[in-house]
Amino acid sequence: MVNRRSAWLWGFIIPALLLLAWQVVCQTQLAPPSILPAPSLVLATLKSMAASGEMAQAVGATATRLLWGFFFGALAGTLLGALCGASALVRNLADPLVQALRSVPSLAWVPLLILWLGIFESSKITLIAIGVFFPVYLNLMSGIANVDRKLIEVGRVHGYSRLARLLRIQLPAALPAYVTGLRGGLGLGWMFVAAAELLGATNGLGFILDDGEQTGRPERVIAAILLFGLCGKITDSFMAEAAKRLVAWQDTVRN
């Protein structure tokens, strides 16, 4: 049986193979350095960014935007998801519109947000919140609406009010789906923050991406992508650990 430590080590196999293939491509000059810089150059760029403080400043700015966007998006998704899941009337009224808006690409929101909120922090945080909202809403709404009807009947037999059934039966039963939605929202939040920072930001990892593209320095672009991936993985790991504790009562194969 694979223990936790060995499972953690297994996760490094594919990145190591990709790094090896990257190094081979650069050494054999299958791709010019202007398109694909060597891993050593990207590492040197990361070290330079860390030494100058640029990395800490960029990660801090991006993480702050993500935190606020995730908070507002998850809050809105939780409230509307709970309402739509608990009430068929609210679901029939609101869900068709939400499902239609869910298909709108992230960049399609940008012109409208700039017109309404300008290019300041509020528009960036709003764009991130939009990305976080949909998976949180969808998972919680579906989780509550699809609770086993037998559990609801048991609550009625015990004299639970509608609110009591929601709080004591439906929400706990929907918790696994909800935490999945939170993790999905966090992942989309990292994607949307990159799109937000490409538009008028003066700091953050998205700004480094744009700066590297504008100045023809692919090593900075790749360094920013790696930082995005690392930060996303770290935050997802914390979220996954919290989710595991919240649903530890589940009798699943994984548990």
In a domain, 79, yes or no: yes
In a domain, 132, yes or no: yes
pLDDT at 10: 79
In a domain, 19, yes or no: no
Token pair of 63 as six digits? 């993480």
Place of tokens 């694909």: 36
Q: What angle do CA 152, 153, 157 make, to 5 degrees?
A: 120
Residue 89's domain spans which residues? 53-246
Q: How many angstroms from the chain centroid is the CA of residue 96?
A: 24
Which pTM was predicted?
0.86
In a domain, 123, yes or no: yes
In a domain, 226, yes or no: yes
In a domain, 228, yes or no: yes
pLDDT at 114: 84
Backbone CA torsion sign across 211, 62, 122, 188: positive
Per-10-residue mean pLDDT, the chain, length 255: 63 86 86 86 93 94 95 96 90 92 85 85 92 95 85 78 78 87 93 84 88 90 94 91 76 56
Nearest to 172 by CA among 154, 151, 189: 151
In a domain, 2, yes or no: no
Tell me, what CATH number does 166's domain have? 1.10.3720.10
Q: Is 167 in contact with 122 (CB distance < 8 Å)?
A: no
b/e burial code for range 75-96 (CB count within 10 A of at least 16 → b): ebbbebbbbbbbbeeebeebbe
In a domain, 137, yes or no: yes
pLDDT at 141: 93
Domain total of the chain? 1
